[in-house]
Amino acid sequence: METAKADWASNGTFVNSLNTNDQIVLHYYAEKAGSYEVKVTFRSGDSRNALVWAEENGKIEAGEK
């Protein structure tokens, strides 16, 4: 995995490349129960790539885009 700098990126840094089986883990803490929103932007030059999300305890509905 590699990160790069860009003015348009959140906090000026974005993930520039991932290899097979690489993953990005987002740790979160929800102080109280409720609905929360996370915005992730995904771009790829290959239609075989996808953004997949899940949570090991099933608190977040898994999906793929």
Q: What is the average pLDDT across 4-11?
A: 90
The backbone torsions φ and ψ at residue 11, rounded to the nearest 5 degrees and listed phi first, read: 55, 20
Question: Cα(22)–Cα(11) distance, rounded to whole angstroms?
Answer: 22
- Quick one: pLDDT at residue 18? 83
Q: Work out the pLDDT band at 7, boundaries 50, 70, 90.
A: very high
Residue 23 CA: distances (Å) to CA of 3, 14, 15, 41, 60: 13, 14, 11, 15, 17
* pTM of the entire predicted model: 0.58
Question: How does pLDDT run across 24-41, given as a tens digit for each residue?
Answer: 888 888 889 888 888 888
Give pLDDT tens digits for 48-64: 888 888 888 888 888 88
